[in-house]
Chain A
Amino acid sequence: MTRMDDSDAAQVALVLGGDRDAFRVLVERHSRRLFRLAYRMIGNEQDAEEIVQDALVRAYRKLDRFESRANFGTWLYRICANCALDRMRKQRPEKDHREPARDEDLAAPGPLDTAPSEAPGPDRLVISAELGAGVRTAMESLSATERAAFVMRHVDGFSIEEIAKTLDLNIGATKNSVFRAVQKLRRHLEPLMSAAK
């Protein structure tokens, strides 16, 4: 890890020193991971590829603002998350308003209403095609911010503080985005999960 970071920093220094092609190493080293992030945010390959390209071009142009003590991979990741957000907002601008959740979303079952189910534990998590399709639909029900917050928190394991910084939100709003994401996912997925047990 340290070695990777060291050589990222060295590579950045080369680019800043005037060697444009030195950027290629960074592209090759990081683009696959960025693709996964972009895909999780946007849900299709072509858009994901374009998001990654946008992100890399954006990173190149602001490379002189990269603090060499920071982790380059994380810095890129954050730029990519923002490129994905931009594209999602452009594609479906209505989704990201802070509109209250629809009524059926808000009719939250209290803990007591939740019947204990026999869904498999995470250790034997086999996702059927049907459930997979459900996950896609559920993810599409999230606003751009909620989706970004969810992916960063629960897929890539970022802290609330890091997410807040990336999405330019305060801590409370960030937590709320993660919360609303999980709440909506629950509405969509829980019925499928107990049905598919």
Chain B
Amino acid sequence: MTHPDEQQLIEYAAGDATRATSSPELAQHVGVCAACRESVEALRRVVAVASALEVPEPDPGYEGRTWRRVADELEPPSAGFTWRDWFSIRRVAALGAMAVLVIAAFLAGRYSPRPETTSTALATTQVRERILLVAVGDHLDRAQSILLEISNAEPLAGGAEKTVDISREQKRAEELLGANRLYRQTAQRTGDATVADVLGELEPLLVELANSPSEVPTSELEALQKRIAARGLLLKVRVLSSNVHEREQARTKAGNKS
């Protein structure tokens, strides 16, 4: 093989070789040809030097200053949308028993989003709504899977001294806690009782899980399971989640139509 050209060597040096330039022959050639090997090394040095360009560290006031300048430019968010809108249907269900919740969730999925208009403002609102639904839907899915795992965890047979490893659930609860608080506070602020309630019930459980050791005695696990079961928490989260996902799909369809 003759010496590869510069482009081949540059791509080789950067690990960007395409199928055309990553032939075994090229690698083999670079392996045995001192000149090409030196060329590759020189290229790597050039890249290393060029990418080491020193960047001054902004002063400690940088973030605050940036926010003030940015904030001056921001319009207040459009008032066309509130959390109230998108949970209003389900609020009807908040008062009833679990069965009512399930039926309401089912029905809510069939509601057409809103009377359609051609206004682009409405289209934007629908897109925003869909993004919110996706975010909260994802959050509820994750919460649900933690609850499921805890509920289905098998206490080891044997004496009360046995422990169960819940490190996975503990770590994930910790990850979800911040988002849960934010969503709950927003729901409270905007008067969304259903969402606030469910997230509010979820929160102490997430706190407890996040702060628990990675191994707990089986007795503690059973206590957790009982708390989840007694409050019907898993079902509540599941209903809210499926409702949110169905509405999310309705929004997507509506968005595609307009």
Interface residues of A (CB under 8 A from B): 2-3, 6-7, 9-20, 23-24, 27-28, 31-32, 35-36, 39-40, 45, 49, 52-53, 56-57, 60, 64-69, 108, 110-112, 114, 116-117, 119, 121-122, 125, 127, 131-132, 135-136, 138-139, 150-151, 153-155, 160, 175, 178-179, 182-183, 185-186, 189-190, 193
Contacts and interface: CB of A to CB of B under 8 A. Distances in A.
Interface stretch (B109-117, B123-131, B144-152): B123-131
B158 interface: no
A10 B183 contact: yes
Contact of A111 (B3, B54, B63, B178): B3
Interface stretch (B28-36, B99-107, B160-168, B225-233): B28-36
B207 interface: no
A122 B44 contact: yes
B16 A160 contact: yes
10 contacts: A12-B131, A13-B183, A18-B81, A35-B62, A56-B66, A112-B3, A136-B53, A154-B14, A182-B13, A190-B46
A32 B127 contact: no
A18 B79 CA distance: 7
Ranked nearest first, the 6 interchain pairs of A and B with the lowest CB-CB distance are: A10-B179, A13-B135, A111-B39, A28-B63, A10-B182, A122-B48
B257 to A, nearest CB: 18
Contacts of A119: 42, 45
Contacts of A154: 14, 47, 50-51
Contacts of A183: 6-7, 10
Interface stretch (B68-76, B211-219, B235-243): B68-76
Given A13-B186, A110-B6, 7 more contacts: A13-B132, A24-B67, A49-B66, A135-B52, A154-B51, A183-B6, A185-B47
Given A17-B186, A125-B49, A64 B131 contact: yes
B25 interface: no
A179 B54 contact: no
B204 to A, nearest CB: 19
Contacts of A110: 3, 6
A111 B51 contact: no
A99 B33 CA distance: 34
A160 B79 CA distance: 40
B131 A10 contact: no
A111 B9 contact: yes
Contact of A7 (B11, B136, B178): B178
A146 B13 CA distance: 17
